Amino acid sequence: MADIIEMPKLSDTMTVGTLIKWLKKEGDEVASGDMLAEVETDKATMELESFFDGTLVKIFAAEGASVEIGEPLCAVGEPGEEVAAPAKKEPPAAEEAPAETKSEDTAAADPAPAADTPPAPKATPPPRPTPEPPPLPASAASGDRVKISPLARKLAEELGIDPTRIKGSGTGGRITKSDVLKAEKHGTGGMAAGGGSVFAKGPIQEAGVAKVSNMRATIARRLVESKTQLPHFYLDIEVDAGPLLALRQQINTGLKDSGIKVSVNDFILKASAEALRKVPAVNCSWEGAQVRKHDRAHVSFAVAIAEGLITPVVFDAHVKSVFDISTEARSLAQAAKAMKLQPSQFTGGTFCVSNLGMMGIKRFSAIINPPNAAILAVGTTETKPVVENGQIVIGQRMTLTLSCDHRVVDGAIGAQFMVALRELIEKPALLLV
């Protein structure tokens, strides 16, 4: 009798998986441990393993299909064995409440129709109005021929500029080469000499809808839960990033031949772990009737991928060096972008860091990633005038924002953590001890 392989639960929050690609086809021999298919979960793309020896006699799920946990994917049996698809598991039907238990409010709101009264026809919704196209420029709307020199027309075509958006400066409003070049120059501001857009016309992208991936759907659900159920509050602090940047440059220059290269984020991850050691009350999780205290700093960091965001974890960051964290973080980020992270690599974090500084963002507030009690948002380093010892000097400043779950972290505790974090960043040699 053939063995049925069902959709397994490949992550802690997974409810459905998408069959991305079959690595075996019907009729192929398979052994226990062979990889049969690639499955997209709510957090990563993982490989489906066979636990049986035999022949892949039947595939029940086509590539691209979404399959719930426990539903059949394929069957492994003897060559030539015929296997029918197992019946789909139906959820238990909800019992209807007895008629006599309905409340008076329910009966009044939903009266039973008389036996001789035909049901009322369903109202047909009005047709959706068709949006009107935007008005054309006056010259095009009136059907007037655009007055433009042949050279100017050719140049406009090469630059992707719409001549009808240009006000000509030649005789009778004729568009010249200089008018087109002026329109191109003003295009950096989005307006031509005559006040119209000089960018290519047409839609931004193809209209329609895109199916939401399992990962995107899970991210959306968890973000809504976090933002609506966790009482967020935020603490900002500005730190002197000059010493950290100087130390980083010395390290990367001195160890260039060894291939070691540390990033600002590597220092932030290490500093966060050490700050959690100094203020352990932030390294906790809310569990309803109790608060769980974590005795180890497992610091995760946000990585942007095509389907959203994932947070690989640097476990025991408090006992690892900046160099160990740098190597591990780089490897985790590469695996995340290739959708090859295992569940054990992105679950179990006790604190999270989200860094948008490399994108030029000065400051932002991140949404907490439950069950963490806090998340640190890291902005870019700004070169600006600052006051030091009563003198105005050029400084390098970075803004850090801590989002806190007020059920676990009070304002004073959050402030103590930020003060400890600032001291570590402004004295980065402490992070190398």
Residues that are catalytic: 406
Which strands, in side-by-side order, build the sheet including 29-30? Answer: 3-6, 72-77, 54-59, 29-30
Token duo for residue 201:
């016309």
User: Distances in Å between the alpha carbon of 281 and those of 227, 406, 423?
Assistant: 21, 12, 18
The whole-angstrom separation of Cα 364 and Cα 402 is 10
Residue linked to tokens 């029940």: 60
Instruction: For 246-315, give the DSSP string.
Output: HHHHHHHHHTGGGT----HHHHHHHHHHHHHHHSGGGSEEE-SS-EEEPSS--EEE-EEETTEEE--EET
Sign of the dihedral through C-alpha 311, 315, 319, 325: negative
Please choose, from the candidates 402, 308, 416, 400, the residue with its C-alpha nearest in 3D space to the C-alpha of residue 356. Answer: 400
Query: Which amino acid, one-letter code, is at 249?
Result: Q
3-state secondary structure at position 36: strand
